Amino acid sequence: MPLSPDPLSVRQADHPIQPLFLQRWSSRAMNGQPVSASDLARLFEAARWAPSTYNEQEWRFLYAHRDGPHWPTFFDLLMEANQVWCRQAGVLVVVLSHKVFSRNGKPNPVHTFDAGLATQNLLLQATTMGLVSHPMAGFDRARARLALKIPDAYEVEAMIAIGHPGDPSSLPPELAALEVPSGRKPIADFAREGLFQFS
Ligand SMILES: Cc1cc2nc3c(=O)[nH]c(=O)nc-3n(C[C@H](O)[C@H](O)[C@H](O)COP(=O)(O)O)c2cc1C
């Protein structure tokens, strides 16, 4: 099933860009099919080629397939509002970042930034493959750290639900109503020449 509605019928860029940037959106409608290991490898391959400070590549991803042994542990980390629709995902991913440089142990001020870049690569690759990929902050970080045995030197950044597109009408009505790609602020609201002059 293709992503519905087609984001290109809803979103318009003010300047010419690759359609992929508009096509990626955070749908919640998935059909419960597993995501194959080879598809997941393609997503991590895209993440792999993200830029990072000193080529540190400090992102880490932990994942659970819906039909695998770790699914209940990952699923239980989610806030109830996210569990409602994530139960139809094929894979749940926890995004981590290493907080210190591997070569000298000093704090890395951009570990979160770099993990975000890798994550966006993953999300865009998923879009090209017709997969839903939905980042989430709504989960219990402290419990994730304990349950997944994440060392202190790693930040727990986000989770991502990945799956095959489903019928929006299978969602509870309040979530089905959200199945429309969102718009964006105009560029002038977030990019200015020179000094800070945002309101
Ligand atoms: C770091 C991050 C955390 C998010 N957390 C959640 C979440 O917990 N639950 C949810 O349904 N959506 C979550 N979202 C999705 C955002 O609401 C969504 O990206 C935003 O509304 C823009 O819409 P779009 O991704 O469809 O373009 C999150 C997105 C990001 C980047």
Q: What is the pTM of this model?
A: 0.97
- Kindly state the average pLDDT of the residues 138-167: 98
Residues with CB under 6 A from ligand 1: 25-26, 82, 135-138, 158, 181-182
User: 163-198 pLDDT, tens per residue?
Assistant: 999 999 999 999 999 999 999 999 999 999 999 999
The larger pLDDT score, comparing residue 5 to residue 134, is at 134
User: Which CATH number is associated with domain 47-175?
Assistant: 3.40.109.10
The answer to whether residue 1 scores a pLDDT higher than 60 is: no
- Calculate how far, in angstroms, residue 139's C-alpha sits from the geometric centre of ligand 1: 12
Using CA atoms, how far apart are residues 121 and 44, in angstroms rounded to an integer? Answer: 9
Domain ranges for the chain: 47-175
Q: What is the mean pLDDT of the chain?
A: 97
The answer to whether residue 130 scores a pLDDT higher than 60 is: yes
The protein residue with its alpha carbon nearest to ligand 1, atom 7, reads 136
C-beta of residue 133 within 8 angstroms of C-beta of residue 161: yes
C-beta of residue 173 within 8 angstroms of C-beta of residue 158: no
CA pseudo-torsion sign 133, 177, 141, 89: negative
Using CA atoms, how far apart are residues 145 and 139, in angstroms rounded to an integer? Answer: 11
What is the band of 139 on the pLDDT scale with cuts at 50, 70, 90? very high
> Angle at Cα 153 formed by Cα 150 and Cα 163, nearest 5°?
45
- Kindly state the average pLDDT of the residues 65-79: 98
Write the DSSP assignment of 51-100 as a string of letters: --GGG---EEEEEEETTSTTHHHHHHHB-HHHHHHHTT-SEEEEEEEE-B
Give the distance from CA 169 to its chain's centroid.
Answer: 23
C-beta of residue 128 within 8 angstroms of C-beta of residue 107: no
Please tell me the predicted confidence (pLDDT) of residue 3: 52
Please tell me the predicted confidence (pLDDT) of residue 97: 98
Using CA atoms, how far apart are residues 99 and 153, in angstroms rounded to an integer? Answer: 6
User: 11-52 pLDDT, tens per residue?
Assistant: 999 999 999 999 999 999 999 999 999 999 999 999 999 999
Using CA atoms, how far apart are residues 85 and 64, in angstroms rounded to an integer? Answer: 16
What is the band of 2 on the pLDDT scale with cuts at 50, 70, 90? low
- Substitution candidate for ligand 1 out of 97, 134, 141, 185 with most atoms within 8 A of CB: 134
